[in-house]
Amino acid sequence: MSAKIKNTSDFKRLSIEETFKILETSILGLTESEAKNRIEKFGYNEIAEEKKNPLVEFFSRYWGPMPWLLELAIVLSYVLEHYVEAVIIFVLLTINVVIGFTHSRRSQRALEFLKKRLAVKAKVLREGKWMVKDAKEIVPGDIILLGLGDLVPADAKIVSGELSVDQSALTGESLPVNLRSSDIVYSSSIVMRGEAKCVVVNTGVNTYFGRTAELVKAAKPKSHQEEIMMGITKYMMYFGLAALILTSAYALLLNMGILSILTFAVIFLMGAIPVALPAVLTIVQAVGAMELAKEGVLVTRLDSIEDAASIDVVCLDKTGTITQNRLSVVEVIPFSGYKKEDVALIAALASEEESKDTIDLTVISYAKSSGVNLDSHRRISFTPFNPSTKRSEAIVESKGARFKAVKGAPQMIISLCKSVGSISQEANVILERMSKKGYRTLAVAKSENNDFENIQLVGFLALADPIRPDSKAMIEEIKQLGIKPIMLTGDNISIAKEIARQASIGDRIVPAAEIRALNETDKAKVVEAYDGFAEVYPEDKYEIVKLLQSNGHMVGMTGDGVNDAPALKQAEMGIAVSNST
């Protein structure tokens, strides 16, 4: 078995036949023995999490610049038989260690509880038979079957079938993505519609999700509080050493013994080191963390509380942070004498709640919230959305007459309509306006009673991920505090500009590709000149945070998805918002 690891992006350009050849597999899947060999070669399909031994973690808190100074003072006090002072310093050091360790363990237990979820299963073709396996046992070359509601267990290439998937947690794209044969579906995406047979191309750390996890491990922010404490200690040590040199010289002139000089050394060392400062700060921060916990905020790193007070730039993920990460109807445009309620009614009749399709559920929810009465209509038949026809339709009966209700891609629906000449130009102007705002637009049409071929355009529905009700007020308050907000999103530039306008972030929004093309020096110069970046990848968010830090900024980062994790960890203050993934 010589199957090779390639980047998932490389498989995008390959045909299905070339993919099978590289992975040494076929449409019939792998045998159990081959799968076992590949587990030995590639490892299990999981992200290994390094867990520290509690004892090692506890005693490691006695290691570091501040503990070393305190431990030196303890040793000198013991040598000079100042046992009381040695015990006092040791107790203060241990209080600091115990408080920090206890809070850290509590936070870790809370995070482990938050991360618990049912073990993911996957339907895999092995030995020519479909069977259900734990996701961790999937290997490159496996043939898997994905359907409605499935969590994609690994990066895979679609062999047959079509899918609509939610990739918002990974890419930040708020709208479902439609995929077909030869497209790549990423690990941790959620299938919203359709069914497809796929070949697994990468597992574990080699997946898109896995690369993001590895970036998280590399991220390490500097502690602003630690820098301040070390700065204070450094200058106090300089002062103490200068005083010690002068005192020692004077002691030598008076012919005082070496023990007396060492006693002075301990006195100045203890005076120069803020012995109680670490313990006091830790206690104060622990109390602050408990108060924040009452407000629903989980503090995982105590010194992040102090760092939060120094933030001057905050990077905001768009999807799920500024916006609701929930598709909604944001605008309704009726045509030909129809009303907004008519557009909502026809769109809802051409939708099916049981399908669990995101767009269908959004349309039906909007119709119900608008007071539209669906009960007076009886649906005779329903044809769900098909990517090839780009529409869904239903035959509906009302008041003894039947008509066809249709919704779908505007150009496709308009091509089905009769007598659209008079409104064609108006429709194109509206579609262009919607496109500039980044909205996904649906056209809605219906046939005349009992004449299914005579279809008339009823109107348009504009769908988008709306901003949270409190986003604009929050961002304006952030600005009043002297903090610069910067929006980061995986969505396209049109959507990014519209959301930035609605949330009062600013209008200087550019694609992340513009800064990728610059050298490191130029990147650092221009990054803070913009109000936001669109079409970003997880590594872009991470790099933008690092660039801002290299310019001397204290950076906060908010996010709710896996794609935000590296930047969240790199920032001085990372905030994972509610309903995070």
Q: Please enumerate in sequence order all residues whose Cβ is within 8 A of that of 338, keeping only pairs 6 or more positions apart, or say none.
A: 458, 459
Residue 176, by phi and psi: left (phi above 0), alpha (psi -120 to 50) or beta?
beta
Separation of alpha carbons 114 and 109, rounded Å: 9
For the stretch 145-186, pLDDT in tens is: 998 888 899 999 999 998 888 887 676 666 678 898 999 999
Whether pLDDT at 3 is above 60: no
* Contact between residue 301 and residue 434 where contact means Cβ atoms under 8 Å apart: no
Separation of alpha carbons 37 and 43, rounded Å: 10
Whether pLDDT at 117 is above 50: no
Confidence of residue 514 (pLDDT cuts 50, 70, 90): confident
Please count the other Cβ atoms lying within 10 Å of the Cβ belonging to residue 252: 11
CA geometry: angle at 412 spanning 409 and 414, to 5°? Answer: 105
Separation of alpha carbons 248 and 260, rounded Å: 9
What was the pLDDT predicted at 36? 92
For the stretch 57-88, pLDDT in tens is: 787 777 776 677 777 778 877 776 778 878 88
What was the pLDDT predicted at 73? 74
Q: Please enumerate in sequence order all residues whose Cβ is within 8 A of that of 295, keeping only pairs 6 or more positions apart, or say none.
A: none
The residue-averaged pLDDT of 348-373 equals 88
Could you tell me the two tokens for 436?
A: 């500039």
DSSP state at residue 319:
I
Q: Element (H or E) spanning 166, and its range?
A: strand 155-166
* Contact between residue 538 and residue 565 where contact means Cβ atoms under 8 Å apart: yes
For the stretch 523-570, pLDDT in tens is: 888 888 899 998 887 788 888 998 998 888 989 888 766 667 788 878
Q: 155, 317, 342, 564: which one is catalytic?
A: 317
What was the pLDDT predicted at 424? 77
Q: Residue 578, SS3?
A: coil
DSSP letter string over 491-502?
Answer: S-HHHHHHHHHH
Longest dimension (CA), the chain: 118
Confidence of residue 114 (pLDDT cuts 50, 70, 90): very low
* Contact between residue 411 and residue 434 where contact means Cβ atoms under 8 Å apart: no
The residue-averaged pLDDT of 212-230 equals 65
What was the pLDDT predicted at 540? 85
C-alpha 366, offset from chain centre: 28
Match 């920032």 to its residue by tokens.
571
What was the pLDDT predicted at 349? 93
Reported pTM? 0.65
- Listed residue (432, 439, 435, 497) closest to 463, CA to CA: 439
> Is pLDDT larger for residue 109 or for residue 332?
332
Sign (positive or negative) of CA dihedral 289, 290, 291, 294: positive
Whether pLDDT at 421 is above 70: no
C-alpha 361, offset from chain centre: 24
Could you tell me the two tokens for 215?
A: 């970036």
Mean pLDDT, all residues of the chain? 82
Is 312 considered catalytic here? no
What was the pLDDT predicted at 91? 83
Whether pLDDT at 213 is above 70: no
* Contact between residue 120 and residue 45 where contact means Cβ atoms under 8 Å apart: no
Q: Among 272-276, 288-292, 404-408, whose mean pLDDT is lowest?
A: 272-276
The residue-averaged pLDDT of 436-447 equals 88
Q: Residue 530, SS3?
A: coil
Separation of alpha carbons 437 and 521, rounded Å: 33
Whether pLDDT at 280 is above 50: yes
